[in-house]
A = this chain, B = another copy of it.
Amino acid sequence: MAETTRVPAQDWVEKHAATLAGALGANSERGYWSPYPETPKAYGENAVADGKEAFETYLDAQFPLDQTATVGWGGEEVSPYGRRLGITYPVADFDALLASMQEATARWRDAGVEVRAAVVLEILGRVNARSAEVAEAVMHTTGQAPAMAFQAGGPHAQDRALEAVGWAVAEMRRVPAEAEWEKPQGKRPPLRLQKRFTIVPRGVALVIGCNTFPTWNGYPGLFASLVCGNPVLVKPSSSAILPLAITVAIGREVLVEAGFSPDLIALAVGAPGQRIAADLAVRPEIKLIDYTGSSEFGDWLEREAPQAVVFTEKAGVNVVVVDSTDDYKGMLGNLAFTLSLYSGQMCTTTQNLLIPETGIETDQGHKSYEEFGADLAGAIEALLGDDARATAILGAIAGESITRRIAGAEGLGEVVLASRKIEHPEFPEAEVRTPTLVSLSGPEDPAASTEHFGPIAFLVPAASTAASIAALRDGVRANGAITAGVYSTDEATLEAAEEAALDAGVALSCNLTGGVFVNQSAAYSDFHGTALNPAGNAALTDAAFVSPRFGVVQTRRHAEEGEG
């Protein structure tokens, strides 16, 4: 796929300098910033149509990836919107592929930080230009609705990648290339050494993708590892390969143009029926692992792959404390949207709503626990009353296990709002489901302490708001969470909730009633995860997420005029 004209990577340093500087600045300031427009129309009038067309060329064919050591073809993706994609991907002889990836490392290392950053930004730029194509791929592997697949799968994922690249570049730039060391020796001549410091990558990185956000969750580790000099083996979820395969193909194309081995990024797909993630994860060549998915496998990786630095995002139980509000309608609308977006199939979706059993104070008067439940159910029904609008928010259920889980959850307590199946006007085979609201017995209810991934939310009556806040603190400590929220008109209550969030190590959103939602996390500004609770040992993106991806190797010798 490489162009025959070589573009020296050096030219790209200048080309991408402003974008890189922008990312570094945004990471420090943590305000809003992005070089990647989030609306499809910014990509040209035909972008969406072209993206669909590009997506369709992949169907029922071998994916065009000329990868080293290919020994077969695998892949059995089925769109949550109905059709079997029929795309197969190269299956590798991993002994040979990993050897080739290792072989490619020294040249990439020796290119230095600035050239690597430029190459990585060129990859991201081309991924960005093909956002509509990636969006189709995300939609038809994850079940996300088109608008979300475009934004979260395209520019927002690219933003999270660029954010991580910026953090990594900043960390690598902290080490000077050279230093002179001169130590006084009293009356004797000083000791003088010249020192050189080289950023050295840790080794082959493995990215284990998830099936709901293959790019958004996969990109930060992928691009951070690559810019630090590590070759990256991308192992997508078997149900969401295409978005990452396109990314790998673009990466390989750019690397070749830049004069490097394409094997600095490669795709790992199993032969039909073969599960390869665990085998790959414990191979001695693998020195870095980025993983998003179940706690069971995440815990296994943290324990069983000690040869690698393992970054995980696992299950959690996200929680919102409802105490009081001066915008009852705004709060209900905000919560309704949060619970509905992508059918709650987000690691950031609220599961447990902690409400005083005595009810809450609002600008519309006191609302009992039951009234709040009914009003929230009503807000969800109003939001999703129109099927076309509903499907645009809900998308499709990503897998049968989630449909089964809804039915199970409705047996765990009193059903305040039953999940409803919606007929998708365009894709009749899609499973589209509205959220269920189930009232539990209280914070001690066992159902409140495990993740029920999908369109499932629990109303949890607490003795008081103080008890709700205690349940937030204890629950996050015990079960993990990526997000937490609080609604209160009382500053002391907000402070108590903040103290609990600090104690438990979870991000807190206060009184969101408008166009920002607790389940949304903005690159360059919001930290996604904290690495401080059981929902994961990594945060997107902080220094700890990037700095173990490289080491510093120094050489020293006597300075020319020096002593000795």
A496 to chain B: closest CB distance in Å? 12
Contact between B181 and A556, CB atoms less than 8 A apart = no
Instruction: Identify which of residues 516-564 in chain A touch chain B, using a CB-to-CB cut-off of 8 Å.
Output: 516, 522, 525-527, 530-532, 537, 539, 542-544, 547-548, 551-558, 562-564
A152 to chain B: closest CB distance in Å? 15
CA distance A255 to B563 in the complex (A): 44
Stretch in A2-10, A299-307, A343-351, A386-394 with 4+ CB within 8 Å of B: A299-307
Assess whether A49 is interfacial by the CB under 8 Å rule: no
CA distance A516 to B564 in the complex (A): 8
What B residues does A200 contact at CB under 8 A? 502, 505, 530, 532
Assess whether A364 is interfacial by the CB under 8 Å rule: no
Within the oligomer, what is the number of copies of this chain?
2
Contact between B182 and A555, CB atoms less than 8 A apart = no
Contact between A555 and B109, CB atoms less than 8 A apart = no
1/0 per residue, CB under 8 A from B, across A171-187: the answer is 10011100111111100
Assess whether A447 is interfacial by the CB under 8 Å rule: no
CA distance A551 to B528 in the complex (A): 11
Assess whether A197 is interfacial by the CB under 8 Å rule: yes
CA distance A29 to B178 in the complex (A): 9
Given A543-B174, A564-B514, A181:B31 Cβ within 8 A: yes
Contact between A174 and B28, CB atoms less than 8 A apart = yes
CA distance A523 to B309 in the complex (A): 26
Nearest B residue to A301 via CB reads B306
- Which one, B28, B32, B170, B198, contacts A183 given CB within 8 A? B32
1/0 per residue, CB under 8 A from B, across A18-32: the answer is 000000000011111
Contact between A191 and B306, CB atoms less than 8 A apart = no
Contact between A544 and B542, CB atoms less than 8 A apart = no
Contact between B306 and A179, CB atoms less than 8 A apart = no
Interface of A is mostly: mixed
Contact between A539 and B551, CB atoms less than 8 A apart = yes
CA distance A278 to B499 in the complex (A): 33
Given A552-B539, A556-B509, A563:B532 Cβ within 8 A: no
Assess whether A129 is interfacial by the CB under 8 Å rule: no
What B residues does A511 contact at CB under 8 A? 557-558
Contact between A181 and B530, CB atoms less than 8 A apart = no
Nearest B residue to A509 via CB reads B556
Contact between A176 and B553, CB atoms less than 8 A apart = no
Contact between A552 and B530, CB atoms less than 8 A apart = yes
- Which one, B109, B507, B547, contacts A544 given CB within 8 A? B547
Assess whether A503 is interfacial by the CB under 8 Å rule: yes
Given A514-B564, A515-B185, A553-B532, A29:B542 Cβ within 8 A: no
What B residues does A515 contact at CB under 8 A? 185, 191, 563-564
Instruction: Identify which of residues 488-518 in chain A touch chain B, using a CB-to-CB cut-off of 8 Å.
Output: 494, 498-499, 501-503, 505-516
Assess whether A367 is interfacial by the CB under 8 Å rule: no
Assess whether A330 is interfacial by the CB under 8 Å rule: yes
Contact between B564 and A551, CB atoms less than 8 A apart = no
Contact between B299 and A330, CB atoms less than 8 A apart = no
Contact between B182 and A31, CB atoms less than 8 A apart = yes
A412 to chain B: closest CB distance in Å? 28
CA distance A330 to B527 in the complex (A): 54
Nearest B residue to A524 via CB reads B181
24 contacts between A and B (CB under 8 A): A29-B179, A32-B182, A106-B502, A171-B543, A181-B525, A183-B522, A185-B515, A191-B515, A197-B527, A200-B530, A302-B306, A303-B303, A330-B564, A507-B556, A509-B556, A509-B557, A512-B557, A512-B558, A516-B556, A527-B553, A532-B553, A539-B551, A544-B544, A544-B551
A28-B176, A501-B553, A516-B564 known, 14 other contacts, Cβ within 8 Å: A29-B176, A109-B502, A170-B174, A183-B522, A200-B505, A502-B553, A507-B554, A509-B557, A512-B557, A516-B556, A526-B554, A532-B553, A543-B547, A544-B547
A residues contacting B by CB (< 8 A) are 28-32, 106, 109, 170-171, 174-176, 179-185, 191, 193, 195, 197-198, 200, 202, 299, 302-303, 306, 309, 330, 494, 498-499, 501-503, 505-516, 522, 525-527, 530-532, 537, 539, 542-544, 547-548, 551-558, 562-564
Q: Which 7 A-B pairs have the closest CB atoms?
A: A514-B564, A543-B547, A30-B179, A510-B557, A544-B547, A532-B551, A530-B551
